Structure 1
Amino acid sequence: MAALLGFLGLFGSTYAAGGLGGRASVCGSVPPFAPGSFNIDVINASGIEREYGVWVPKHYQQNVSTKLIFSYHGAGGTIARQRALDGLTEPAFNTDHIVIYLQGLENDDGKTTWEGAPQAKFDDLGFTSDLLNRIDGEFCIDERHIYATGKSQGGGFVGRLACDPNLSKRFAAFAPVSGAYYNASITKRAECHPQSMPILCDPGRKDIPILAFHGGADDTVSYFGGYRKKACLPDIRYWIGQWSERESLGETAVNSSIAGTNGGINITYGGGLVKLVFDGWNIPHDWPATFENSDNGGQNLTSFNATTWIMEFFGAHALG
């Protein structure tokens, strides 16, 4: 059975359409990778060979449905960098979720990108869908508890997943960090209005949980938005407000300060369904952490770990 699944998985979209893919998770079959291991594999998605990493929890059991997280690196990034940054394969943060790391492809200037960003030209929504189908057919997956997180352009792509009419129905919650939420259809500086620009979003369900993080000193993806790479980025407070409006949660947020930060605020709508963590005025384009990581280099540490808060947020939400 495992051999058959592996064979079918080589065909990407064809496999996704078969009886073993889609929403029918396979339980009872021997998984392709051993519990407690991290592995790199490839899948043919939309006719292109795509690389991904799989971390399997130590206590994974093939007859017990297991929660799943997809994680996306930033522009120019790699699976290895994202894995080191998000800490989701560390027992201090996660012991019971399978984690999938997806590798972006290079655009014409040799830099990896994600669909929706300027110069991106690959079908990363299709890659995500095909890979989700494969993982669902190789592991015993709890389909009510599938989540997505990512950094920078990967975080922007997580926002795109939440806005997709199909994939928004397969992921239970979304947690972008320092996200670049480009509208690449706005190509002229004069037409870029960060506090009123159109947000391209057509989710397939309501009540989508969103937890976003952003720092006030981010000079890569400004908290206040702006014109970048011949595209337009929204003001982050406006972007999260649009999610509240889309979810019919109202315009009024509940704000609470974050102890030990330089002006950090939890900005919450709908009792926490939609939430923006303003990391503080001193936090740049970082994955917030109380310890040194590859983003902060030991500088501008925060009083909280984004990964801890992401895992708590994911734990509070499931598909109905």
Structure 2
Amino acid sequence: MHRNLVAPLLGISSFGAAHTLRQRSAAGCGQSPTATLGELSKFNTTAGREYGVWLPDDYDQTAATPLIVSYHGADGTIDSQAALDKLTHSEFNTDHIVVYLQGKADDPDEPNHTTWEGAPGNDEDDVGFTSDVLDAMTAGYCIDTSRIYATGKSQGGGFVGRLACDADMSKRIAAFAPVSGAYYIGSIDEKSETKPETVQVPCEAGRADVPIMAFHGGDDTTIAYYGAFRSGSCLPAIPNWIQQWAARDDLDETPANTSISGSDNGVVMSFGDGLVTLVYDGDDIGHDWPSTTENSDNGGTGLAAFNASTMIMAFFREHTLS
């Protein structure tokens, strides 16, 4: 499918009737929803893990509906991520179900230090947790199983990258959009010969056409754009990480670049007509969820020239599982 590079920046989508023809309804169609329409309702899996469900105001239990899974950053919560990505706001989303997963705190001495699988010191099976939640959603709601998507911030973004590299989840989730992602590669430190700009990312994606849209700021001092070593792990340079995705999807590793108007050197780097995309937020954007208005990341002073949520929604609308 041809992709217009300018469209996501303007909030324009090429989503149309062709996607409707490929809808795949879940077993939960026809069941009365247990979540409240227009509100964030909390539930637990059978294993006791918490997740939140937001249904659009016009959710129809007989119509197959797309679903987004969103992951908070380290020390975050369901509510903090919902406030950050604003995918429950009509400005960005009126027709996708959004599910927020709660990370777990493994250290009883730090009950608020929530992390995700793949982060240093995390031994949880969050891939399994995600699978359990998707099973519950498709059993209880009318989900279009060809249009399930994943996004997240920081460690949550890194975990989204991990899902994209999972043999099973990469075939269950249609597209992935990590923001300021922490793509930890374990058991590597600065004493090794491994370098962030060349380190290989372990990946066993189950298909060769995985859509990726990643965001990262040049002034990110938490997860550096050009990589770093942290807590016995290597954080790959973001250009290295995204070029490996282009290679996996058998795309030209030299992107087509489009400047972001109004930003400090911000650019959209598009590989393979946008199947893989890196949005460089700009030299002045830090460890943020890019937004033109104040949020918990930017404090009202580090505003971006665009809204990541607008671009993410446009990107998701362009991709379905075949």
Same fold (TM over 0.5): yes
Report the CA distance between 1:188 and its aligned residue.
Answer: 5.1
The C-alpha deviation readout for 1:146-197, integer Å capped at 9, x for no partner, is 0000000000000000000001001000000000000013245434410111
Distance 2:145 2:256 in 1: 31
The C-alpha deviation readout for 1:25-56, integer Å capped at 9, x for no partner, is 321111112322221111123xxx10111101
Partner of 2:10: none
Structure number with the bigger relative contact order (C-alpha 8 A, sep ≥ 6) is 2
SS at match of 2:297: coil
SS at match of 1:44: coil
Partner of 2:86: 87
The C-alpha deviation readout for 1:61-99, integer Å capped at 9, x for no partner, is 110111100000001111111000000000110001110
What's the TM-score, normalizing by structure 2? 0.89
Mapping of residues 256-271 of structure 1, within 5 Å: 256-271=258-273
The number of equivalent residue pairs is 295
Within the alignment, does 1:313 sit opposite 2:315 as a pair?
yes
Asked if 2 retains the 8 angstrom alpha-carbon contact of 1:178 and 1:221, the reply is yes
Partner of 2:75: 76
Asked if 1 retains the 8 angstrom alpha-carbon contact of 2:287 and 2:297, the reply is yes
Partner of 1:204: 206
Distance 2:153 2:162 in 1: 13
Partner of 1:149: 151
Runs of 5+ in structure 2 lacking a partner? 1-24
Amino acid at match of 1:163: C
Asked if 2 retains the 8 angstrom alpha-carbon contact of 1:189 and 1:227, the reply is no
Report the CA distance between 1:24 and its aligned residue.
Answer: 4.6
Asked if 2 retains the 8 angstrom alpha-carbon contact of 1:189 and 1:230, the reply is no
Report the CA distance between 1:107 and its aligned residue.
Answer: 2.5
Distance 2:299 2:159 in 1: 25
Partner of 1:56: 55
Instruction: Name the % identity.
Output: 56
Match of 2:293 among 287, 291, 294: 291
Mapping of residues 207-286 of structure 1, within 5 Å: 207-286=209-288
Larger deviation: 30-39 or 150-159?
A: 30-39
Distance 2:295 2:39 in 1: 22
Amino acid at match of 1:164: D
Distance 1:188 1:38 in 2: 43
Report the CA distance between 1:299 and its aligned residue.
Answer: 1.0
Distance 1:202 1:299 in 2: 40
Distance 2:193 2:106 in 1: 25
Match of 1:41 among 17, 40, 43: 43
Amino acid at match of 2:34: P
Report the CA distance between 1:102 and its aligned residue.
Answer: 0.3
User: In structure 2, do the counterparts of structure 1 residues 189 and 83 end up closer, same or farther at CA, with 3 Å as the change threshold?
Assistant: farther
Distance 2:211 2:271 in 1: 10
Asked if 1 retains the 8 angstrom alpha-carbon contact of 2:26 and 2:143, the reply is no
SS at match of 1:179: coil
